Amino acid sequence: FFQIFDAFKSRLHDSNSKVNQVALETMHKMIPLLKDNLSPVINMLIPATVDNNLNSKNPGIYAAATNVIQALCQHLDNSLLLQPFCTKAQFLNGKAKQDMTETLA
């Protein structure tokens, strides 16, 4: 599980915006299927999803990242998300900080 998501994580940071967007859209589709089974890799996935993608000027990437965050909130236990979301909200800036703060609220 870790090996798969370790490789997948780098696609979420890919410099090619099309690859990045497809990876985010794929992640959005995987979350409902894997649900709480994602708990071992959640601390790896949230930063990979949020760091560059929520501040992206590319509307497709931003929308896909927002969809991933919403899917995480819908399908995972909120107690798993609280710490990584708080950490991200604390250290991000711009639109990403606002989005994470609203998600936490």
Q: How many domains in the chain?
A: 1
Identify the domain containing residue 98 by its residue range: 19-27+40-103
Residue 13 belongs to some domain of the structure: no
Residue 14 belongs to some domain of the structure: no
pLDDT for the residue numbered 65: 96
pTM: 0.93
Residue 5 belongs to some domain of the structure: no
The helix (H) or strand (E) run that includes residue 100 is helix 94-104
pLDDT for the residue numbered 105: 87
Contact predicate 23/56, CB 8 Å: no
CB proximity list for 29: less than 8 A, separation 6 or greater: none
* DSSP track, 39-86: GGGHHHHHHHHHTTTTT-S-HHHHHHHHHHHHHHHHHS-HHHHHHHHH
Using pLDDT thresholds of 50, 70 and 90, give the confidence band for residue 102: very high
How confident is the model over 25-70, as pLDDT tens digits?
999 999 999 998 999 999 999 999 998 899 999 999 999 999 999 9
Give backbone dihedrals phi and psi of 50, rounded to 5 degrees, phi first.
-90, -45
Q: Mean pLDDT, the chain, as a whole number?
A: 93
